[in-house]
Amino acid sequence: MANNCSNREKCGFYLNYKEHSEVIKNNWIEDFCNNAEKSESCEKKMLEESTGQPLPDHFTPTGKVLRINN
């Protein structure tokens, strides 16, 4: 567990989209959520920490907004 992002288990992006095809294709979970060192460069995490406000769950670690097709 120590090798994962410290926010992973409470992050709406991780919890809601970890099996989404676009997320898997872009390796966001592997690159950011499962990598404590790289998670420090997660745009979602940094913005939430700097503003003290949660971002929408579909805001990705790279700062993009995940577009959900219904």
Q: What per-residue confidence (pLDDT) applies to 11?
A: 96
Q: What per-residue confidence (pLDDT) applies to 70?
A: 54
In a domain, 68, yes or no: no
In a domain, 69, yes or no: no
With CA atoms as reference, report the closest residue to 32 among 55, 13, 54.
Answer: 13
Instruction: Please give the residue range of the domain that contains residue 49.
Output: 1-63
In a domain, 5, yes or no: yes
Q: What per-residue confidence (pLDDT) applies to 68?
A: 77
Burial (Cβ within 10 Å: 0-12, 13-18, ≥19) of residue 33: buried
Residues of the chain with pLDDT under 50: 1
**The whole model's pTM is what?**
0.88
In a domain, 27, yes or no: yes
Q: What per-residue confidence (pLDDT) applies to 1?
A: 47
In a domain, 42, yes or no: yes
In a domain, 23, yes or no: yes
Number of domains in the chain: 1
Q: Which residue has the tokens 């898997």?
A: 24
